Amino acid sequence: MKGFESRRTFLARTTALAGGAAVSASIGASKGYGAPLFRKLSLKIKNPDDPIVNAKMPNPKQTGNEFPPSVVTVGGRRWLFIGSNHSVAVPIPTRTHILRDPECATREQPIYSIGGIVHEIRLGRLPLLYDIPDEQFWRHTYCGAFNVDVMPAGNGHPEWVFSINHCENKNLSWKTKYTKFFTTNSINPADEATETTTSGSLKGQFREYQPAYFGLVSMSYAPVAPETKYGAELFHHDMGPVIWPQTGFMTPDGSAKAPGFWNEHPHPSSLIAEDPRDGKKYIYVFSVISDPDADSRVDERARVMIGAARSPLTERGLPGTYKNFYHGDYTEPSLPDLSGGIKMSRSRKGGKASAIHESTRGCQMNRFFVARLKRSGLFLSVESFRAEGRFQTALRLSEDLRTWTDRFVLPIKQRSDYNASSAELALYYPKFLSADGSSHYEIDESERFHIIATNPHFLVYRDLEIQIG
């Protein structure tokens, strides 16, 4: 409790900085989120002119940096989890900083960690004509370990490596050397995969077929033990969805998408943190969710918002233990009854949910990631989004993971040797990395640290120096 009390004391006595490169208005009451705080928070970006840099990290065989990797240190080992439709764990030396030694990603043989069932077939882990079971609907075609962290031992359990996964159940076309296959989603199988109703490569470019796209957030874990290769193999305990759309996926008769469900791409993140209000620790999950009250005149991709849910750490983050953020607190059970399989549960509604901040509504949100700051005890987020015709990155501050400042938009510049494959300079799926390269979730704000991201399918980063108050 000593750390908790010292943080409470800090928050009570801190006053805001004046001026700076970016200054937020006070965090006040706003319809649909949070309670007002009693002081202003400000943030100064001390290096606004720093560029985005290509990390020049090579990709392990058969996968790549579609989203930024996770560095995990546990049991005297360090893993680099890298992924796209499936994720691998690469052993690296325990003192390795991945931005200083990007070649570490390919020095050792990668270990398969977890992935979509279709991609297990493509990798030869399952038979070519394998019939995908309904009971694993969440990773039907894609399962990327977007966030990997360590859960401490407790309640009779050893340490776990655990992941919060971005999963997809969608129509997909894919090729072998000899033929082309079509996989139909299992949530709305009436929309069958064909040449024109599938996600996949079309005329040399990948495109998503949104009508048959269903994104989910799942949890998996690996006890740090020999049978999981000391936390590398997450597929042994693939626990299923932890978040569910508040609208459900389909209408009760299964004939159409549920009103207000907008085919969101969740792109989740997670954080183990203490709630300063009750002193207890929780696993927080932030993800892109549908906004059922979105203006129908807005582009469908912008009819989303950032939602949050949390599970008591004592419950180990397992499905059924999360409650959604709704009207200022974490009160609504995230999951409906999932008995009867996906054909029965696809129309059931998840718990009610609110946006964590009104400004995450009405724009095309890409990701929202949070870390705790060592010195101040505050929480710092980084988010990526499209608004005003361009892709942007911004920071926010929070005292309690309920109420957030307005955005501090980050200037985006490019180094001359960047060699981007994307037509647009951007930080996709951003997350933090500490100055010493050891953590994504605990950042010393007195040091220069990093935002790592992709653009897309190769790793990029931007250094960051901030001053807060």
- Average pLDDT, integer, range 452-465: 93
pLDDT(8) > 50: no
Q: Please, which pLDDT band fits residue 423 given cuts at 50, 70 and 90?
A: low
- Average pLDDT, integer, range 434-460: 95
* Averaged pLDDT score across all residues of the chain: 88
pLDDT(401) > 90: yes
What is the Cα–Cα distance from 281 to 431, expressed in whole angstroms?
21
Are 140 and 118 within 8 A, CB to CB?
A: yes
Residues of the chain above pLDDT 70, percent: 89
Cα dihedral value 38, 40, 43, 44, nearest 10: -150
What is the Cα–Cα distance from 283 to 309, expressed in whole angstroms?
8
pLDDT(13) > 80: no
Residue 68 in tokens: 């930024």
**Contacts (Cβ under 8 Å, ≥6 apart) of 183:** 118, 132, 140, 141, 171, 172, 173, 174, 193
Q: In what order do the strands lie in the sheet with 466-468?
A: 22-23, 42-45, 466-468
CA proximity to 281, closest of 372, 216, 350, 351:
372
pLDDT(97) > 80: yes
- Average pLDDT, integer, range 285-301: 91
Tell me phi and psi for residue 365, to 5 degrees.
Answer: -80, 140
Element (H, E) at 13: helix 2-13
User: pLDDT at position 14, please?
Assistant: 31
Handedness of CA 430, 435, 437, 439 (dihedral sign): negative
Choice between 397 and 417, residue whose per-residue pLDDT is larger: 397
- Average pLDDT, integer, range 154-178: 93
| pLDDT tens digit sequence for 36-90 | 444 578 999 999 999 999 999 999 988 999 999 999 999 999 999 999 999 999 9
User: pLDDT at position 7, please?
Assistant: 37
| pLDDT tens digit sequence for 358-395 | 999 999 999 999 999 999 999 999 999 998 888 999 99
Q: Is 9 helix (H, G, I), strand (E, B) or coil?
A: helix
What is the Cα–Cα distance from 258 to 247, expressed in whole angstroms?
6
CA proximity to 429, closest of 379, 363, 369:
369
What is the Cα–Cα distance from 425 to 53, expressed in whole angstroms?
11
Are 273 and 372 within 8 A, CB to CB?
A: yes
Are 443 and 449 within 8 A, CB to CB?
A: yes
Element (H, E) at 379: strand 379-387
- Average pLDDT, integer, range 243-254: 96
User: pLDDT at position 20, please?
Assistant: 28
User: pLDDT at position 204, please?
Assistant: 66
Q: How many residues does the chain have?
A: 469
Helices (H), 125-168: none
pLDDT(202) > 80: no
What is the Cα–Cα distance from 339 to 216, expressed in whole angstroms?
17
Report residue 41 CA to chain centroid gap.
25
Q: CA separation (Å) from 137 to 170, 188, 246? A: 10, 11, 18
Q: Is 62 helix (H, G, I), strand (E, B) or coil?
A: coil
**Contacts (Cβ under 8 Å, ≥6 apart) of 42:** 16, 17, 18, 20, 22, 23, 24, 468, 469
Quickly tell me which residue has 């570490």 as its tokens.
104
pLDDT(232) > 80: yes
User: pLDDT at position 295, please?
Assistant: 86
User: pLDDT at position 24, please?
Assistant: 38
Q: Please, which pLDDT band fits residue 9 given cuts at 50, 70 and 90?
A: very low
pLDDT(335) > 80: yes
Q: In what order do the strands lie in the sheet with 67-74?
A: 67-74, 77-83, 86-92, 111-115
- Average pLDDT, integer, range 10-26: 32
User: pLDDT at position 457, please?
Assistant: 85
Residue 378 in tokens: 């505050």
CA proximity to 130, closest of 145, 142, 140, 138:
140
Q: In what order do the strands lie in the sheet with 442-443?
A: 408-409, 390-398, 379-387, 364-373, 442-443
Number of DSSP helices (H) and strands (E) in the chain, helices first: 4, 29
Question: Structure pTM?
Answer: 0.91
Q: Please, which pLDDT band fits residue 292 given cuts at 50, 70 and 90?
A: very high
- Average pLDDT, integer, range 444-457: 94
- Average pLDDT, integer, range 338-350: 94
Choice between 374 and 469, residue whose per-residue pLDDT is larger: 374
User: pLDDT at position 40, please?
Assistant: 77
**Residue type at 350 in one-letter notation:** G
CATH-assigned architecture of domain 2-468: 6 Propeller (2.120)
Element (H, E) at 118: helix 117-122
Element (H, E) at 122: helix 117-122
Question: In this structure, how many other beta carbons lie within 10 angstroms of the beta carbon of residue 171?
Answer: 24
- Average pLDDT, integer, range 105-131: 93
User: What is the residue extent of each domain of the chain?
Assistant: 2-468
Name 82's bridge partners.
Answer: 88
Range of weakest confidence among 9-13, 153-157, 304-308, 309-313? 9-13
User: For the CA atoms of the chain, what is the radius of gyration?
Assistant: 21
Are 391 and 420 within 8 A, CB to CB?
A: no
Element (H, E) at 345: helix 342-345
**Residue type at 7 in one-letter notation:** R
